[in-house]
Amino acid sequence: MTHATLSVQLKALEEYGLIRRVQYEAIPPHVEYSLTDIGKKFHPVVAAMETWGNEYIAQMQGETNA
């Protein structure tokens, strides 16, 4: 992922209210991101997608090794 792509994705997540961005006026510049309360509630969805993805990969590997 390029820096530009990451920046676009982070801005979108911030606009959707899923993450919070805090910029510190320091040298060198420093930015921190954290999940908002609604962003934290999305964790079970991501975990379910991970479980499904791992099962799908295992199934596909089993089919190619058969």
Write out the DSSP string of 10-59.
HHHHHHTTSEEEEEE--SS-EEEEEE-HHHHTTHHHHHHHHHHHHHHHHH
Residue-wise pLDDT for 14-28, tens only, equals: 999 999 999 999 999
What's the mean pLDDT when you consider all of the chain?
94
Protein fold of 3-65 = Arc Repressor Mutant, subunit A (1.10.10)
Task: Domain ranges for the chain, please list them.
Answer: 3-65
Q: Quote the pLDDT of residue 66.
A: 63
Q: Quote the pLDDT of residue 65.
A: 72
Beta bridge partners of 35: 19
Residue-wise pLDDT for 34-66, tens only, equals: 999 999 999 999 999 999 999 999 999 998 776
Is the pTM for the entire model greater than 0.85?
A: no
